[in-house]
Amino acid sequence: MRKKDANKCSDVLELIHTDICGPFSTPFWNGQQYFITFIDDYSRYDYLYLIHEKSQSLDVFKNFKAEVENQLSKKIKTVRSNRGGEYYSRYDGSGEQRPGPFAKYLMECGIIPQYTMSRTPIQNGIAERRNRTLKDMVRSNAKFIEDVELSGREPLRKVVFEEESVSIPIITTGHGHIMFDDTIQNVQPITEIVNTPEIPPTQVVEPVQVHKEEHEFDMGLEDDPISVSQVKQSSYSKKWIEAMKDEMKSMKDNGVCKACLVAKGFTQKEGIDYKETFSPVSSKDSFRIIMALVAHYDLELHKVDVNTVFLNGNIDETIYMVQPENFESNNSKQLVCILKRSIYGLKQASRQWYIKFDQVITSFGFKEDIVDQCIYLKFSRSKFIVLVLYVDDILLASSDVGLLHETKRFLSSKFDMKDLGKAYFVLGIQIYRDCSRSILGLSQKAYIDKVLNRFGMSNCASGDTPMAKGDKFSFQCLKNELEKKDMERFPYASVVESLMYAQVCTRSDIAYIVGMLGRYLSNPGMDHWKKAKRVMWYLQRTKGYMLTYCRSNHLEIVGYLDSDFAGCLNSRRSTSYYIFMLVRGIISWKSVKQTLIAFSTMEAEFIAYYEASNHGIWLHNFIT
């Protein structure tokens, strides 16, 4: 009898997982560039269809729905997918995402849709993992052969592989298997595999290649197991189980338990399972100001890391969860757990951690900064220390080593944490110091290298400037349906998002161009894609650049601003840009489209003055 998974449905067709994979650089025999999978949550049986375009997903789903509902005499109740355009809809010109044909069809059929949150593939892990496995097999061993009949009753368009240099003795498709070799002419399905010790198990070889820049590929999906059953099958199962035991020990020490809510926090209901979720985060401006002060006053700068940070928060609501898989009580498997503390996956987890930390640190004499709730200060006569909280990372900058270590000892007595010593790397930013000359530098070279490699630009040519003079972005949107389909092949939004993090942290020189590219995320044209690549060419040449701060005779903030006039040809609005400097380095900058339509260059600059002055007051209040 098959053991029932605690998180699985109780019957077939209660929940269907689906995802689309592609496009592939080499099309299938009939020119298809994508495949779509439908996986039943209860039986784990899956259907796979080859399609030419993502827009065919609805037609394929109708065929799938008609077959399975007729064969099983049951109805599909829920469909889980990502929020991509093929399942929900694409963003319209107003920037909103409205239900498209697939979503409307689900509503007409009374099927409940479950959409995952943005950039969280783990929420649709079953479909994502199945597609990744199939892609890895394709890359490492094979050519595609389509339209294989697994049985007379269930014709599925399955992916089969023609052997090249590596023998593939078995390929799993649902709960059946296909066995073959290069001498077999007709592939015959079987439902049970006998023991054949002379045949080694299938191994998926990770491809060593640089993806072409125009092809989509999985972002952020790791090869780590996502379930206990996969852990047991892993070649590193012993190490994974040891890690699981360490995690459970940490939860036991904190009086908490962690289980399904890690992946199902979206099932919480406001007013019942949580009331508020807001949690403050320290701004990058605050971080750079403190780095400037570290250089100016030659402060000690250390970093500590809080282990299992969200397990420290208390919760005010009563929340139940099922027992963690593989750690069920032998005598009480039907019982559930009640949470004593916050755990990962709860919507309020970050907020509860912040409240707990605030209570602890203020009891030690620290005071919260009036303009940034994640910055704390403590003065002891002529000595002082500044604390920066960024979720589980804590930076400590102090004028006295004794006060610094005293604070570390206090924090260690309250939380399980690691003392990382002097800070050299924070939030993807590398910190360089030359104490003899009172110089501190902030660099994102490693991050930029990672971005360039991610989009196949690690060996690209170097560029002189991030943009060309006279570029008019409004005239470069999609011109026809052919270009629109062509643009679907490019990871434009992912590139802009990656560039934006570099711009926010250390690269003020690309603030204007990244802001312009970000305005056309919903309707980018081929020219926009070329401009995004130009920024990466520029970063290839300047990736070693860094923000620097050094001791100055005058500790004062100096600001500069400018504005164009009616630079946005769509809205006729102008763009403001300002920077603020402290101890010879930039601490704050912004390039933003103005909210008002200016009737002259003078009005546009007055609006820019207003926006910059507001931020200057914020900076002044922060420092004083």
DSSP state, residue 249: H
The mean per-residue pLDDT over the stretch 290-305 comes to 94
Domain end, chosen from 405, 436, 467, is at 436
Q: What pLDDT is attached to residue 479?
A: 66
Pair 491, 354 in one domain? no
Task: Pick 264 or 416 by higher pLDDT.
Answer: 416
Angle (CA) 304-282-296 rounded to 5° is 75
Beta-carbon contacts of residue 245 (< 8 Å; ≥ 6 apart): none
pLDDT single digits (tens) 308-338: 888 888 887 777 777 777 777 777 667 887 8
Question: Is 23 part of a structural domain of the chain?
Answer: yes
CA–CA gap between residue 547 and residue 295 (Å, rounded):
12
Q: What pLDDT is attached to residue 163?
A: 33
Pair 524, 567 in one domain? no
> Quick one: which H or E segment has residue 447?
helix 445-454
Q: What pLDDT is attached to residue 244?
A: 78
Q: What pLDDT is attached to residue 614?
A: 93
Task: Pick 133 or 594 by higher pLDDT.
Answer: 594
Cβ proximity of 487 and 478 under 8 Å: yes
138 band by pLDDT with thresholds 50, 70 and 90: low
3-state secondary structure of 134: helix
Here the CATH number for the domain that contains residue 126 is 3.30.420.10
Q: What pLDDT is attached to residue 257?
A: 54
Pair 568, 511 in one domain? no
267 band by pLDDT with thresholds 50, 70 and 90: low
Q: Is the pLDDT of residue 495 over 90?
A: yes
What strands, in cross-sheet order, belong to the sheet with 112-115?
46-51, 34-40, 16-21, 78-81, 112-115
Pair 373, 405 in one domain? yes
Here the CATH number for the domain that contains residue 301 is 3.30.310
pLDDT single digits (tens) 75-124: 999 999 888 777 876 655 555 667 788 888 998 999 998 888 766 666 67
Pair 460, 599 in one domain? no
Pair 482, 502 in one domain? yes
What's the half-sphere exposure (Cβ side, CA atoms, 13 Å) at 88?
Answer: 18
Q: What pLDDT is attached to residue 192?
A: 36
For the ranges 67-76, 308-317, 600-609, which has the lowest average pLDDT? Answer: 308-317
> What six digits make up the tokens of 416?
């399980």
Question: Is 535 part of a structural domain of the chain?
Answer: yes
Q: What pLDDT is attached to residue 171?
A: 32
Q: What pLDDT is attached to residue 151?
A: 34
Residue 249: Cβ within 10 Å count: 10
Q: What pLDDT is attached to residue 87?
A: 82
Pair 142, 26 in one domain? yes
211-215, 351-355, 448-452 — which one is most confidently predicted on average?
448-452
pLDDT single digits (tens) 382-419: 899 999 999 889 999 999 999 999 999 999 999 998 99
Pair 67, 120 in one domain? yes
Pair 373, 510 in one domain? no
Q: Is the pLDDT of residue 596 over 80?
A: yes
Question: Is 103 part of a structural domain of the chain?
Answer: yes
Instruction: List the domain range (segments joined by +) for residue 399.
Output: 284-316+348-436
Residue 259: Cβ within 10 Å count: 21
Pair 530, 428 in one domain? no
Domain end, chosen from 396, 412, 436, is at 436
Pair 403, 538 in one domain? no
Question: Is 292 part of a structural domain of the chain?
Answer: yes
The mean per-residue pLDDT over the stretch 486-512 comes to 92
Q: Is the pLDDT of residue 496 over 90?
A: yes
* CB neighbour class for 177 (10 Å; exposed up to 12, middle 13-18, buried from 19): middle
The mean per-residue pLDDT over the stretch 544-571 comes to 90
Q: Is the pLDDT of residue 432 over 50?
A: yes
65-74, 175-184, 520-529 — which one is most confidently predicted on average?
65-74
The mean per-residue pLDDT over the stretch 341-359 comes to 84
The alpha carbon torsion through 476, 477, 482, 486 (nearest 10 deg) reads 90
Q: What pLDDT is attached to residue 557?
A: 92
Domain tally, the chain: 4
Q: Is the pLDDT of residue 303 over 90?
A: yes
Question: Is 303 part of a structural domain of the chain?
Answer: yes
Could you give phi then psi for residue 549, rounded to 5 degrees?
-130, 140
CA–CA gap between residue 452 and residue 448 (Å, rounded):
6
Q: What pLDDT is attached to residue 580?
A: 96
Q: Is the pLDDT of residue 543 over 90?
A: yes
307 band by pLDDT with thresholds 50, 70 and 90: confident
Question: Is 432 part of a structural domain of the chain?
Answer: yes
Q: What pLDDT is attached to residue 156?
A: 35
Task: Pick 153 or 22 by higher pLDDT.
Answer: 22
Does the model's pTM come out above 0.75? Answer: no
The mean per-residue pLDDT over the stretch 474-501 comes to 81
* CB neighbour class for 530 (10 Å; exposed up to 12, middle 13-18, buried from 19): exposed
Q: Is the pLDDT of residue 427 over 50?
A: yes
Pair 301, 417 in one domain? yes
Question: Is 577 part of a structural domain of the chain?
Answer: yes
| Gyration radius from the chain CA atoms | 28
212 band by pLDDT with thresholds 50, 70 and 90: very low
Secondary structure E strands in 391-434: 393-398, 417-422, 425-426, 429-434
Q: Is the pLDDT of residue 203 over 50?
A: no
The number of helices, as runs of H, and strands, as runs of E, in the chain is: 14, 25
Q: Is the pLDDT of residue 488 over 80?
A: yes
What's the mean pLDDT when you consider all of the chain? 78
Q: What pLDDT is attached to residue 367?
A: 94
510 band by pLDDT with thresholds 50, 70 and 90: very high
Q: What pLDDT is attached to residue 309?
A: 81
Domain end, chosen from 516, 542, 568, is at 542
Q: Is the pLDDT of residue 441 over 60?
A: yes
Q: What pLDDT is attached to residue 5?
A: 52
Q: Is the pLDDT of residue 575 over 70?
A: yes
Q: Which of 504, 511, 516 is nearest to 470 (CA)?
A: 516
Question: Is 273 part of a structural domain of the chain?
Answer: no
